[in-house]
């Protein structure tokens, strides 16, 4: 998950974990984890992953913010799906929502 945080920070966009105490002026995003995934074989966890969500709010109607953030997911080796793009009429912002899956430490193989 640290790789994702670093990659999102490197975009130059403002991100906070889970929520902002007060939404910043301009564009901003949030990220957070809500679940874990594990694949089991031979009675052991073989693959572990963290499931989360990334939201981004912007006035920029071009594809640039979406493409930059999705490139950051690739940099962090995070699987993702763009779940929705909505116009928030109360704020006048576009709201992007991605579901992400970040690899967790690899399960140890006992041999």
In this predicted structure, what is the pLDDT of residue 37? 73
The domains located in the chain, with CATH, are 2-103 (3.30.2000.30)
Question: pLDDT, tens digit, for every residue of 19-68?
Answer: 888 877 889 999 998 887 777 778 877 777 889 999 999 999 999 999 99
Backbone angles phi, psi at 89, to 5 degrees: -65, -30
In what order do the strands lie in the sheet containing 44-58? 15-17, 28-41, 44-58, 93-103, 79-88
In this predicted structure, what is the pLDDT of residue 26? 82
Instruction: Supply the pTM of this predicted model.
Output: 0.82
- b vs e for 5-27, b when ≥16 Cβ sit within 10 Å of the residue's Cβ? eebbeebebbbeeeeeeeeeeee
Average pLDDT, the chain: 88
């Amino acid at each position: 998950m640290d790789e994702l945080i670093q990659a999102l920070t490197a975009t130059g966009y403002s991100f906070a974990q889970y929520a902002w105490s007060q939404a910043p002026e301009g564009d901003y995003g949030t990220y957070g984890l809500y679940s874990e995934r594990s694949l089991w074989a031979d009675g052991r966890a073989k693959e572990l992953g963290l499931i989360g969500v990334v939201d981004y709010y912007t006035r920029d109607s071009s594809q640039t913010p979406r493409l930059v953030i999705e490139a950051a997911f690739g940099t962090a080796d995070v699987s993702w799906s763009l779940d929705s793009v909505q116009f928030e009429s109360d704020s006048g912002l576009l709201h992007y929502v991605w579901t992400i899956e970040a690899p967790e430490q690899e399960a140890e193989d006992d041999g």
